[in-house]
Amino acid sequence: MKAKFIFITLSLILLSCTNNFRHSEEISLPNIIFILTDDQGYGDLGSYGSKTIKTPNIDQLAVEGAKFTDFYVHPICSPTRAALLTGCYAPRAGFPDVQLWGSPFGLNPDEVTIAEILKTKNYKTACIGKWHLGDEDVFAPNQQGFDYFYGIRLVNGTQKFENFAVPFYRNDSLLTMRPDHSKMTRDFTDESLSFIEKNKKNPFFLYLAYTMPHIPIYPGESFRGKSGNGLYADAIEEIDWNVGRIVEKLKAQGLEENTLIVFASDNGPWAGQGEQSGSAGKLKGSKMTTWEGGVRVPMIMKWKNVIPASKVYSEITGIIDMAPTIAAAAGASMPDDRVIDGKNLLPYILDQKNTKIPHDIYYHYAGTWLQAVRSGKWKLHFARPEVRPGRYGECADWFTRGSYAGIFKEDLLYNLETDIGETKNLANEFPEIVQELKSMTIKAKEDIGDYSIQGKNSRPIGSTYLELTDINQYPNSEYARKVGEEMMTEMLAFQKKRFNKLSKSNKSLNNQEAQELEFYLKKFINEKAK
């Protein structure tokens, strides 16, 4: 029986590229669980070398499945999520940057997400946790192929406030403005277990996007202080324990063999946050940078009896590959009316001879700015002679602050095979490699785009300001400032409404609420004075 299952599954993988392939009744499509953590560094798992964070359950996934050593994401939350769901580099999919409160932008409803693709195979789909691909109703997960949503559409907070208020939803219903952040990891897992239980008889796709360990870090009560290595370690150990609960649930329901589990982080750790910061291990840089520490993260795939146990896959792979891989596992097709950047990884990782590699070149975009490329062992950072403005209003400058972007007048070339920490610039010694990588990049700039270049195959952002859809329209100009101001006004209006509601309720404000109120009142007054 097992042998038959393996044969059928492998056939499914190999045949899934052809459109005319039809599943026979007896094949049960695999369940898919994608677990994404937020700001977890390359060095923040036992299986990736952490000596301070204990992650036995996640490490066990690597023991029973494959660990990817060279897996890339975008350097910040939203673009990675856009790339995950669409199989494309985020600027191609029209969602290159983070959007915050009051933003009129979201992942374009015309994008075809992996959830929508799996719906063609009758999967039940859930997004539990953090969405971060648009705050407005038209951009919500239920509009993008997810049958069920439980969590937040935005980010869990900023470094400014403790226990930040954030709208918390079940599907499109607002449940609360003040979720308890310390309960989220547990709560999201509970919801996931119940989704698994409800769907044990049909194929399901669970996208579980934990809000931790993004700052401000709130481990659950029973994990706070438990690791002995700070809040960040507490939060990851809590995630690990909960991943263990999910695996146990699958086993208990007899679903372990027929479930593909993927575990990854959305970007590198956020530096400079004390015990709330993670570690990129030996890699240079952190979140918001295109140094390896910002864009290389842990990724593990377990699919019992399909992916060999304890495999270590070291070719270049990335978040863009996840949708095509998941689609193939389900015998579904990616859309053929648009460019898709990612590859189905299964034939590559199952090829024992390793004769082909998924990517000759991988592009590292910070927003729409193509900052670096990787090909084989070589990584080239293009000269950044100046700090360049970003695209969108309030969060436009994520990548351009001096300490994040870095200014260097010359191209920098590193050999990652011998210098994983990007310490020794070899550009002068290997000018022909620099030239080759540059010429390989010309195509990407034309195709996907770059700072101030509209890629001919890049698609528009979703916008509730209909005139604002071209992502290359606003780096400079009055127009950009106008959009920025309007977005800020919307954000303030949102907060104003929230505090009006709070002050009308009978509940007295706690210290943090009072501080927030004071902060926003000042802003409202400033706005009025303009």
Q: Which residues bind Ca ion (CB under 5 A)?
A: 38-39, 77, 266-267
Nearest residue (CB) to Ca ion, 31 versus 265: 265
Taking the least distance from each CB to Ca ion, the nearer of 277 and 441 is 277
Known catalytic residue at 77 = yes
| Residue number with CB closer to Ca ion (78 or 495) | 78
Which residue has its beta carbon closest to Ca ion? 77
Shorter beta-carbon distance to Ca ion: residue 188 or 414: 188
Closer of 9 and 267 to Ca ion (Cβ): 267
Burial (CB count <10 Å: 0-12, 13-18, 19+), residue 478: exposed
Helix (H, G, I), strand (E, B) or coil at 449: strand
* The amino acid at 405: A
As measured in angstroms, the least distance from the Cβ of 82 to Ca ion is 13
Coil, strand or helix: which one is 135?
A: coil
Helix (H) or strand (E) holding 244: helix 231-252
Q: 429: left (phi > 0), else alpha (psi -120 to 50), else beta?
A: alpha
Q: Which is nearer to Ca ion, 124 or 130 (CB)?
A: 130
- Shortest separation between residue 383's beta carbon and Ca ion, angstroms: 27
Asked if residues 148 and 171 have their Cβ atoms less than 8 Å apart, the reply is: yes
Q: How far apart are CA 31 and CA 33, in angstroms?
A: 7
* Catalytic-labelled residue, pool 74, 77, 381, 395: 77
- Among residues 74, 132, 181, 381, the one annotated as catalytic is 132
Question: Between residues 125 and 267, which has the closer beta carbon with respect to Ca ion?
Answer: 267
CB of 330 to Ca ion, least distance (A): 27
Specify the residue, 152 or 260, whose C-beta has the smaller distance to Ca ion: 152
DSSP, collapsed to helix, strand or coil, labels residue 218 as coil
Strands 453-454 and 449-450 turn out to be: antiparallel
Q: Choose between 250 and 295: whose C-beta lies nearer to Ca ion.
A: 295
Q: What is the DSSP string of 280-343?
A: -TT----TTS-SHHHHB--EEEE-TTTSPTTEEE-S-EEGGGHHHHHHHHTT----SSS-----
Q: Helix and strand tally (H, E) in the chain? A: 13, 20
Q: For residue 374, what are the CA distances in angstroms to 40, 163, 253, 344, 425?
A: 22, 39, 42, 19, 14
Amino acid at 203: P
Q: Which helix (H) or strand (E) holds 372?
A: strand 369-375
Question: Other CB atoms closer than 10 Å to residue 490's CB: what's the count?
Answer: 17
We find the least distance from the C-beta atom of residue 510 to Ca ion, in angstroms, to be 27
Show the tokens assigned to 402: 């001096």
88 an active-site residue? Answer: no
- Say if residues 184 and 163 touch (Cβ distance below 8 Å): no
Supply the minimum distance, in Å, between the C-beta of residue 77 and Ca ion: 4
426 Cβ contact list (under 8 Å, min separation 6)? 413, 414, 415, 433
Cβ-based nearer residue to Ca ion, 264 or 448: 264
Least CB distance to Ca ion at residue 132 (A): 8
SS3 at position 6: helix
3-class DSSP state of 192 = helix
Q: Residues 96, 451: contact at Cβ < 8 Å? A: no
Note the residue count of the chain: 530
- Least CB distance from residue 248 to Ca ion, whole Å? 27
DSSP string, 25-59: TTPPPPEEEEEEESS--TT-SGGGT-SS---HHHH
Considering the complex, what minimum distance in angstroms separates the CB of residue 109 from Ca ion? 23
Q: How far is the CB of 85 from Ca ion (least distance, A)?
A: 15
User: What torsion do the CA atoms of 396, 398, 400, 404 make, to the nearest 10 degrees?
Assistant: 180
Q: How far is the CB of 126 from Ca ion (least distance, A)?
A: 20
- Kindly report whether the peptide bond that precedes residue 96 is cis, defined as omega within 30 degrees of 0: no
Which of the residues are catalytic? 77, 132
